[in-house]
Each structure stands twice: as C-alpha cells, then as structure tokens.
Structure 1
Amino acid sequence: MKPCTAKCGRSAILKRPKTGDTLCKECFFQAFENEIHFTITRSNMFTPGSTVAIAASGGKDSTVLAYVLKKLNTKYNYKLNLVLLSIDEGITGYRDDSLETVKQNRDDYEMPLKILSYKDLYGWTMDEIVAAVGKKNNCTFCGVFRRQALDRGAIQLAVNYLATGHNADDIAETVLMNILRGDLARLKRCTSIITDSGDGIPRVKPLKYTYEKEIVMYAYFQKLVYFSTECIFAPNAYRGHARVLLKDLEKMDPAVIMNIIQSGESLSVAETASLPKLTKCERCGYGSSQNICKACVLLEGLNRGLPRLGIGKSSRAKKMLEANVGVKVDGDTVNSANTCDTRQCCSKNGSCQNK
C-alpha cells in the first residue's frame, strides 16, 4: 500500500480524482471539507446569523451538502440556522422514494424539513405532464417548475439564502450546454457562485469546485444515506449529451472540469450585447427575465390544452399565446380576462379556476 501523501503516517486508501493525491480516509475528509470551507469563506457566502435553506432531493449532492454544512457550521461557528427544502415533482417510483431519504436526512441531521409539491403549486404532477407532452421535452417543464418551486419555498420559509448542491461537474456541463445553445445570458451567470433569484433570496453553490466523483467517495466513506436512482425521465434530457461529452473529456484529462469552469468565469460579453434583466413576472409575481415568466407560459399551455406552448423560442410562445388564448406578453401589461394570478389562484386551489 502507498503511504498517505499528507504524510500522516497512515496508508492511502484512495486517489483523489481532482488532484491525484493518494490519501487515507481521514486526510481525504479533512481536505474535502477544508476546500468547501475555503469556497464559502473566500466568496463571503453567508452572513452570520442567517437562515439557509438547503435544496434537498435525497441524492448524493444535497445529502453531502447538508452533512458538510452542518459540520462546518459547528466547527467554524458560521452561526447559521439550517433547514431542508424539498420539492415533490410527482414522479412515481422516483421522487416518492427519494423523499423518504430526505426524511431520513432530516432525522439524522436534526434539521427542519419543508416539502412543496408541483400538484399543490401548479395543479399538475410530472407524471401528468409527461402524459400530456411526451418524454422528449418534459425536462423543460420540470426544470422551470422546480426552480420556481424552490424560490417559492424559500420565500415561505423566510430564509436569507438558498443553497443548492450544484457541483463542479454540473457547472461544467451547464457551461457546455449554454455554449452549444448560444445562450449568452445564462452563459454569463451560470458560473457565478452567488446568483440573484429575482426574489431577493440569493442562491449559493458551496460545492461549486467539488468534483462529483469525490462527492460520491465522501458519501461512501462517511456511510451517508442517499438516494442513487436516476430520474426515470432523465435519459431524454438535453443535459445528458453534455454530460457524456464531459465524461469523455475527463477520461483524457481530469482537469478539464475545472478548466471549463474557469473558462466560463473568464468569458465576457460585449457591452453592445442585449441581455435580459431580472424583473418580476406580471402574472405570478416571482422572479423572471421576461414580463411573463417561463413557468407561467408553460402552465398556461398545459391548462389550455397547448402543452407544447412554451417549448422552443419565446417569440413563438408569445405568438401562440396571443393567437390562442388572447394573452398579451410583449407589452407592459397582461391584457386578458381569461388569465389569473397563479400566486392567488392556481397555487392555492391546485388548478386554474379560470379555464
């Protein structure tokens, strides 16, 4: 056996994918946690005394994030109040099982847990949405609704920060996706460690520089309980193509993950480029980069029997909305007697009452 490169006198049991160091279990734990602590302190991520909601799915990333944040909060006296926030998308055989793991995390880490469901917020489950739109574009609905659902949960909990388990691999994949899509606005902000949600609650990424493989190794050696089954609809996601590309590149050079992130951080957008600015959706009142947020457009399509309404370019959705349901979305106001405020109607009653 090789000796631990930290020169602690113990034998190494693993090789870090990120650095190539051969470490014993104890030194790996220390290095892993210290890097996350450094990420938090260097970015001035949290203000002492704040309440932080951890977006918890039951998977390895959110489980490790909850465990490490609790440990660092105690060790370095961050003075944070930590709570768990989970979203039930309504995916039978996947989310219902993973939520049981989240409840186990709640008990193990002694953190309050709040669960919000798509059914209560939007009147639809993902199973119902997939039945309406098919498997090709369903991840668009889930991603948009989940992002807003987390914002809604953070507002309901009155937290100061929303911490997500996005790791280095996730961010590198997102950089690749935005390059392939030519999405300048998202490319500019996807590498930010702290982002504005538009609702006044910053989103933070403590695991931004943490490799996915090391998260798995940490969870394994710490014997953490997490849910490892992939979403049954995920194989159809566009992100999957970026993930395959990234893994192929990583086989040749593990540093490619960090190189892509650093490239994304270094990119600058010309001052003449027109970029959307965060504002409030005129229908639901939550953060949006357009007058009508993507969630409201998608929900309108579902409720009106036009499930593909929000798929593709926004200009196409605007034309379809105005032609089919009389909703004005490119002006300063929404001019339609057939629309409702989802914050007041759909989010409370489970489905649109103005159909």
Structure 2
Amino acid sequence: MPVKCCKCDGNAVLKRPKNGEALCRQCFFSIFESEVHHTIVSNKLFKTGEKVAIAASGGKDSTVLAHVMKTLNERHKYGLELLLLSVDEGITGYRDDSLETVKRNQQQYELPLKIVSYEELYGWTMDKIVQQIGLKNNCTFCGVFRRQALDRGAMLLGVEKIVTGHNADDIAETVLMNILRGDIARLQRCTAITTGIEGSIPRSKPFKYTYEKEIVMYAYFKKLDYFSTECIYSPNAYRGHARTYLKDLESIRPSTIIDIIHSGDSLSVKGDVKLPVQGTCLRCGYISSQELCKACILLEGLNRGLPRLGIGKATAANLQTHIAKQKLKQAEDSEGEKCSGSCSCKTKFTTNDKPTYDF
C-alpha cells in the first residue's frame, strides 16, 4: 500500500533524510524552497538591488543553487541582479566537461556567465601543478587559488556578494577537519553563514542548513542538468576522511550534521588565545594574516621549482622570515640597494617603496 504524504493526500515519493518525513514531490519542492527562503530572510543575506554572483561549478550544489536563487528572486521579489561565476582550474577531463554544463545552465536560467581561469590569473593550471607536486597536497593549491579566483572574478563583475553552494554536510565536515587540525582561527568562523565581511567580497551560504541528500533529491525530481563526476585529483583529499566519518555518524544519528553545525555556532575562543590579525598581502593586496598571502607563497614555490615551499607551517614560516628581513633592509636602505649578502635573494624596490622579490 502506498505511503501517504504527511502534508497532503498525495502519495509520498521520498523520505526526508533530515527528519524522516514522507513527502510527495510537490510538497518536497515547496518545503525545500521555503526553508532556503527562510534562511535567506532570517539571516538578511541580501539587500534589494544588489548584484550577486552565484559560484557555479556545474555540480549538483551550484546547479540547484542557481535554480533556487532564480526561482526565489522572482517569487519573493528580492530585486537581485544574478550572474554566474565559474573558475576553470585547468583539469582536463573534469573541469572542461563540467563547464559545458555551466554554459547550458546559463542558457536554461538566462543568467550572464563569467569564467576566470587559473592559467589566466596565476600562469598555472591544476594539471601542471599536479605534475610538479603529485597527488598529495594538490588540493591545498586548488582550494587556496580557487578562493582567491572567485574574489577576483567577482571584482571584475563588480558584484556586492557571492553565494556558494556549501551545504550542511560541507560545513559539518569543515568543523570536524578544523577540530582535528587544531585550527582555532578557522574553527571560530567556519560555520558563519556569511564570511569575508572584514575585507574581501562577502560570501553567503543559503544552503547552510540544507542536507546534501536533499539537494540531490531536488535535482533529481526537478530533472536539473548537472555534472556528477568527482574531481580526478581529489581521492586523497583530507576532506574525504572527514566525509566518511560524518556519514558513519549520520547513519547512527541523522541529526548529527545539524548538531555539529550548532556546536560550531556555539563555540567561543578564550580571551587569552592569540588569533591571527587580518591584514593585506604585500605582493598582491589580497587579505592575509601574514606578510604574503597563501596564494603568493604557493606561487613562489611553483615558480622557483620548489612546489612544497608553501606546504606546512615550517616552510611557510621560513619564507615569512625572509620577507621580514627584506622589510628591515628596506627601512635601513631607502635607496633600494641590493641586499648586503645576509640572505640569498636580490631585492628590488618600486617607486612607491613596495617590495618586489627576485629570487
């Protein structure tokens, strides 16, 4: 005998992973969209008239996000100007295929599309980076470069906000990863629904409380066009271990995902704990708690043929110490003469006294 929908007299087609409710297709669509709308409104994610870039990868999360944002913007009259923003990491057989999906989404949703590439921004593709670094630690490069590439693309578009498809599972995984790493600074802010307010373009997560399984169900029942293949370079990613652990916990207690997020929201750092101070990168001007941002450190290693230079705290600290020496030399020698030999570099200064490095 068919199971009845708990909201109407129709036949149920699914059981919600979040709470076990049996729902028909239309009731599921209505509840899914209403919950996302509630998240947007209750957290005041947007203001009328804002230009908002949707981070679009072609995957299920970003495809559903684009569809739902367009639907809610029209239904509830948010008054937003929506655009699609994609990053081409340069992964043959993966990103080139997923970008074809994004281009179809552009036509289906009638939204403008901007694509920025690692090769265009950094002079490297992920294919070339993996040739240098191997499959271990390559996700570090991709994650750092991608975050900055999104901001750069958003600046080119002149948008006020970026929305990403990070869902409840993603955020819970991040909480676990930061606990396991002992990364207090990131743990303090990883559950925030909006980040980047302090300097770069703010990023919001309308799917903060939305389960990944429900996003998949929504895409399936809506027959949305999305790309489902996993990145060919991610099998060894640290996040994968956190994801496996989280799925095991969820199978025992379905509320685990939301419980972890609420725990992350409630965490506080003792007053005597020293946290990084946000500044800007000396080289590119991007937000950074160090003299050089992580992207510039990683690029330095790649360009010097030392791809592991920015991997791990010790190597990054050595480069930061080197930079500190150059700043001291700059203060002592306003004429910009070459280093006296206390280090192995050649330092040159621009007319505005901003250091550049010739390693």
Q: Given the two structures, how large is their TM-score scaled by the length of structure 2?
A: 0.90
Distance in 1 (alpha carbons) for counterparts of 2:47 and 2:187: 27
Cα distance 1:85–1:353, how it changes in 2: closer, same or farther (>3 A)?
Answer: farther
- SS where residue 114 of structure 1 aligns? strand
Please list, as runs of the form range in 1=range in 2, the aligned pairs for 1:1-355 lying within 5 A after superposition.
Answer: 1-6=2-7, 8-196=8-196, 198-313=198-313, 315-320=314-319, 327-328=323-324, 337=346
What per-residue deviation string (whole Å, max 9, x for no partner) do you get for residues 135-165 of structure 1? 1110000000000000111111110101010
Contact 1:340 1:354 in 2 (8 A): no
Unpaired runs of 5+ residues, structure 2, are: 331-338, 340-344, 351-355
Distance in 1 (alpha carbons) for counterparts of 2:357 and 2:179: 40
Distance in 2 (alpha carbons) for counterparts of 1:244 and 1:332: 48
After superposing on structure 2, the runs of 4+ consecutive aligned residues of structure 1 that deviate more than 4 Å are 329-341, 352-355
- SS where residue 96 of structure 2 aligns? helix
Distance in 1 (alpha carbons) for counterparts of 2:107 and 2:267: 43
Unpaired runs of 5+ residues, structure 1, are: 342-351
Distance in 1 (alpha carbons) for counterparts of 2:6 and 2:104: 35
Cα distance 1:200–1:140, how it changes in 2: closer, same or farther (>3 A)?
Answer: closer
Cα distance 1:72–1:353, how it changes in 2: closer, same or farther (>3 A)?
Answer: same
> RCO higher in 1 or 2 (8 Å CA, sep ≥ 6)?
1
Cα shift at 1:332: 8.2
Distance in 2 (alpha carbons) for counterparts of 1:119 and 1:297: 17
- SS where residue 72 of structure 1 aligns? helix
Cα distance 1:271–1:12, how it changes in 2: closer, same or farther (>3 A)?
Answer: same
Cα shift at 1:278: 2.4
Cα distance 1:37–1:51, how it changes in 2: closer, same or farther (>3 A)?
Answer: same
- SS where residue 82 of structure 2 aligns? strand
Cα shift at 1:316: 2.8
Cα distance 1:243–1:137, how it changes in 2: closer, same or farther (>3 A)?
Answer: same
Distance in 2 (alpha carbons) for counterparts of 1:163 and 1:2: 37
- SS where residue 296 of structure 1 aligns? helix
Q: Which has the larger displacement, 279-288 or 119-128?
A: 279-288
Which amino acid is the alignment partner of residue 4 of structure 1?
Answer: C
Contact 2:291 2:323 in 1 (8 A): no
Q: Percent identity?
A: 63
Distance in 2 (alpha carbons) for counterparts of 1:192 and 1:329: 36
Cα distance 1:141–1:97, how it changes in 2: closer, same or farther (>3 A)?
Answer: same
Cα shift at 1:339: 7.7
Which amino acid is the alignment partner of residue 81 of structure 2?
Answer: N
Cα shift at 1:67: 0.2
Aligned length: 340
Q: Given the two structures, how large is their TM-score scaled by the length of structure 1?
A: 0.91
Partner of 1:346: none
Cα distance 1:331–1:214, how it changes in 2: closer, same or farther (>3 A)?
Answer: farther
Distance in 2 (alpha carbons) for counterparts of 1:56 and 1:289: 28
Distance in 2 (alpha carbons) for counterparts of 1:105 and 1:55: 12
Distance in 1 (alpha carbons) for counterparts of 2:329 and 2:223: 53
What per-residue deviation string (whole Å, max 9, x for no partner) do you get for residues 174-195 of structure 1? 0000000000000000000011
Contact 2:326 2:347 in 1 (8 A): no
Cα shift at 1:19: 1.4
Root-mean-square deviation (Å): 2.1
Partner of 1:349: none
Contact 1:282 1:333 in 2 (8 A): no
Distance in 2 (alpha carbons) for counterparts of 1:138 and 1:65: 27
Cα distance 1:353–1:321, how it changes in 2: closer, same or farther (>3 A)?
Answer: closer
What per-residue deviation string (whole Å, max 9, x for no partner) do you get for residues 286-333 of structure 1? 1222221000000000001110001011x43231565xxx54489689
Partner of 1:345: none
Higher Cα radius of gyration:
2
Contact 2:165 2:206 in 1 (8 A): yes
Distance in 1 (alpha carbons) for counterparts of 2:234 and 2:48: 38
